[in-house]
Amino acid sequence: MLARLGFDAVTLDMQHGFHSTESVLRGIAGVALAGKPAIVRIPVGRFDMASRALDMGAAAVIAPMINDVDDARAFAAATKFPPLGERSWGPHRAMQLSRHGDVSTFMRTADRETLSFAMIETRKAFDRLNDILDVDGIDGVFVGPADFSIAWSEGAKVDPRLEEMMPAIEAIASAAKKSGKLAALYAADPGLVGRYRQMGYGLVATGSDTESLVLGATSLLERAKAE
């Protein structure tokens, strides 16, 4: 349903959301039927799930808490085929969903047509940003403002709108652009989407299934009580 509402893509969250392998498989198929790409965020450190998500047909994978080059290399290795990475062959569902019906074409194009986003959420990651961006196989970075605000305030706040961190968030987008990589971000406040776009973020995610359900149900209830 979300894929048919006009969003450019739908993200299935295995980190903080309630998705399992089975629901991700069904979700990717549903999003594909709507003609949109599905993005999967894997749990922390579960790079094996990155390969699985791509095998299921995900167009992009987001890996949380990529804090250094070793993390970035391990993630890239799981998402790219040799010689760039170490992804094992087995994209049977992905091939069914792709426009490439033969093995050789899929193998030749998969690394280019699927994206690997490393999440920047800590001061450690921010300090090593350029090194992370330099890793072959990392296509872009994805900022998690909630965790980033915890790090930036040294544990004092959880505020994805924290004004003091906005220059750093803009610097991340600038560094990504300079390195020829993509900049993505989650906007907890839809009202900030325009600001993030001006900073240089090409992909901005916003909203969630639970949030949409609550907002829709609240609006429905208010209308019903007003009658």
- What CA–CA distances, in Å, run from 49 to 60, 169, 193? 12, 27, 29
List, in sequence order, the alpha helices (H) in the chain: 21-33, 47-56, 69-79, 92-97, 103-113, 123-127, 129-133, 145-152, 166-179, 193-199, 209-226
100 an active-site residue? no
- Which residue's structure tokens are 């050789």? 104
- Tell me how far apart the alpha carbons of residues 66 and 44 are, in angstroms, rounded to a whole number: 9
The one catalytic residue among 16, 19, 92, 100: 16
Answer left, alpha or beta for residue 101, where phi above 0 means left and psi between -120 and 50 means alpha.
alpha
Answer left, alpha or beta for residue 5, where phi above 0 means left and psi between -120 and 50 means alpha.
alpha
206 and 186 in contact (C-beta within 8 Å)?
A: yes
- Tell me how far apart the alpha carbons of residues 76 and 198 are, in angstroms, rounded to a whole number: 28
Residues with a known catalytic role: 16
